[in-house]
A = this chain, B = another copy of it.
Amino acid sequence: MMMIHRWRRSGEFVRSACKSLSSLRPEHNSMSPSVSGFVNRYESKGKTFQSNAWNDHNRELDLGRNLGMMQQYKSFGSSSASKVQRNPLFSSLEPKDVSYFKEILGDKHVIEDEERLETANTDWMHKYRGSSKLMLLPKNTEEVSQILKYCDSRSLAVVPQGGNTGLVGGSVPVFDEVIINVGLMNEVLSFDEVSGVLVCEAGCILENLATFLDTKGFVMPLDLGAKGSCHIGGNVSTNAGGLRLIRYGSLHGTVLGLEAVTANGNVLDMLGTLRKDNTGYDLKHLFIGSEGSLGIVTKVSILTQPKMSSVNLAFIACKDFLSCQKLLVEAKRNLGEILSAFEFLDNNSMDLVLNHLDGVRNPVSSSENFYILIETTGSGETYDREKLEAFLLKSLEQGLVSDGVIAQDINQASSFWRIREGITEALQKAGACYKYDLSLPVEEIYNIVNDLRGRLGKIHITALSPNNFKTEDCNQIMHMVQVTWQMLWDMVTLETLLGLIEPYVYEWTSKHRGSISAEHGLGVMKANEIFYSKSPETVALMVSIKKLLDPKGILNPYKVLPHSFFSP
């Protein structure tokens, strides 16, 4: 029995990658009072259309009209830039507002302290910073409802905040929005040991839930590097993926119910605990992944899983990408229900790790073009291991695999994962890096790398290192690729380089029916890029639904939907 999962720290690894990015590009890390440099650069692709007043208080919801706007938007191509501007229809905070909030929440839970606000205004990458003057700490759903009802009537914009661990600026104010942090709503409400259904408040920290469940012999269906800080409500609102998406599917499948408060203070009780319920529209899905722009999630009902004890890990070398694809198909077929990870790296990534990290060595004797990690997780130690061994032997005979080794103990397994998870650390040491949280069909994930290599070769890119070809879940494939480029950028200005990468990478992704945000959401960072992944008609419907649930647009403004919809 190897408890390998303990040594996997994908989350921390993303964290350090992002720190690297900001420290290496100080000129783009300015803490502007609105949105920081990185975002502005995204905007410089520029599409303009004016006067589509979000907040004109015209309640007429006309899909046709929205669609017309979308098509207009699409047709503009790359014209002049449009920066985010504060929506002037929002009120500014007044002393009477603060007094009201103190009345309903108590003085202690109305935060005006500058130091605490500084933290709440800044995302943890220090990439986005708002200028909110007020943070509210409701203790229950009723208080959230009262706050929102008041803010809606006063046209005060708000930002729902959980652990503030997002990567796209979704959880901090852009301007002076009132911060509503649900951290005090952190009770486990019930746990059913027969069904494994956990019901809890939105402010529960993921790790605390995991610790609670551990004593019961269960695990959460999601696990993230940020688990020590992130809240389950935030996880649900951003449809967080993480390590176990992998095994147990997305939150659209594991969240059985939730309670949410809409902009006008209405409490929607959808807190079912059943897996089967076909009574009308399943509206909870609107709130999963909408990044707090349709309502504030206050309670969550989620299906947890019994702990599995047997974990095995193999490190394998493959000659070409086609063999990697075939191996994946065979692994799903042969390992079936115990396959829990299938991760991929190329020889560029391997060289990078070998060159920059201490004490790392290639587990297989010969150098090869591609390497794969295959992990199984199950309940039968001997069975699972024999199954993995038999599969690898067969793959070797079939020529899909040129070499491979199975970890014999925890240390060896840990050293295998160290290679895969060390790529980002190695990139940090080698130079600046760009991460693109893309999702592409499996057969395309290496084509984009080859295409970009060709494109960027001209300007002295020294290493182009794709990694994180995740595919997991017993019988399912993840289609996720995070492509990381590491480059020598003293030869070329950052703007020139970026001009070669963007919008090319988004266009490429869109053309191949990929997603420009596999895991991290759109937030403020990619709100304007939504058309690369969604059709104009679909975005039009999103806007209509936003207007239906939040007519004044007070909930997490400037996020998810194109900024232009928020500017009068």
Contacts and interface: CB of A to CB of B under 8 A. Distances in A.
Interface of A: 59-64, 67, 192-197, 217, 238-239, 241, 245, 248-250, 252-253, 262, 264, 266-270, 272-283, 285-286, 288-290, 294, 303, 305-308, 325, 328-329, 332-338, 378-380, 383, 386-387, 439-443, 474-480, 513-522, 526, 530, 533-535, 537-539, 541-542, 544-545, 548-549, 560-561
9 contacts: A61-B548, A194-B328, A272-B515, A273-B479, A279-B517, A306-B333, A337-B337, A379-B387, A548-B548
Nearest to A391: B379
Contacts of A279: 515-517, 521-522, 526, 530, 533-534
A520 to B, nearest CB: 7
A105 to B, nearest CB: 23
A332 B306 CA distance: 7
A192 B303 CA distance: 30
A518 B62 CA distance: 34
Name, among A197, A245, A541, A545, the residue most crowded by chain B CB atoms within 10 Å (CB to CB). Answer: A541
Across the A-B interface, give the 6 residue pairs with the lowest CB-CB distance, nearest first. A285-B285, A253-B253, A336-B379, A277-B515, A337-B337, A279-B533
A480 B59 CA distance: 42
B192 A521 contact: no
Given A269-B537, A273-B441, 18 more contacts: A63-B548, A196-B477, A239-B282, A241-B276, A249-B249, A253-B253, A268-B537, A270-B538, A274-B513, A276-B478, A279-B522, A279-B533, A280-B290, A283-B538, A337-B474, A379-B387, A383-B386, A544-B548
Given A281-B545, A306-B333, A274 B530 contact: no
A253 B282 CA distance: 13
Given A280-B560, A520-B278, A522-B278, A196 B475 contact: yes
Chain A: interface secondary structure?
Answer: loop
A567 to B, nearest CB: 18
Contacts of A515: 272, 274, 276-279
B253 A250 contact: yes
Given A274-B514, A282-B288, A379 B252 contact: no
A276 B306 contact: no
Contact of A479 (B217, B276, B560): B276
Contact of A193 (B329, B475, B513): B329
Contacts of A520: 278
Contacts of A238: 278
Contacts of A264: 63-64
Interface centre among A303, A475, A530 (most CB of B within 10 A): A475
Contact of A194 (B253, B325, B475, B516): B325
Nearest to A387: B380
A378 B290 contact: no
A192 B443 contact: yes
A252 B283 contact: no
Given A67-B266, A195-B477, A383-B383, A278 B517 contact: yes
A273 B513 contact: yes
Contact of A533 (B267, B277, B544): B277
A192 B337 CA distance: 20
Contacts of A294: 281
Contacts of A442: 192, 194-195
Q: Most chain-B Cβ atoms within 10 A of its Cβ — which of A63, A194, A248?
A: A194
A483 B534 CA distance: 44
B541 A280 contact: no
A63 B64 CA distance: 21
Contact of A517 (B269, B277, B328, B333): B277
A248 B378 contact: no
Most buried by B among A253, A288, A443, A520: A253
A541 B441 contact: no
A86 B559 CA distance: 44
B277 A518 contact: yes
Contacts of A333: 217, 306-307, 379
A562 to B, nearest CB: 10
Contacts of A530: 279-280
Contact of A441 (B192, B193, B252): B192
Contact of A338 (B60, B267, B337): B337
Nearest to A331: B306
Given A286-B281, A475-B306, A194 B329 contact: yes
Contacts of A386: 383
Contacts of A561: 280
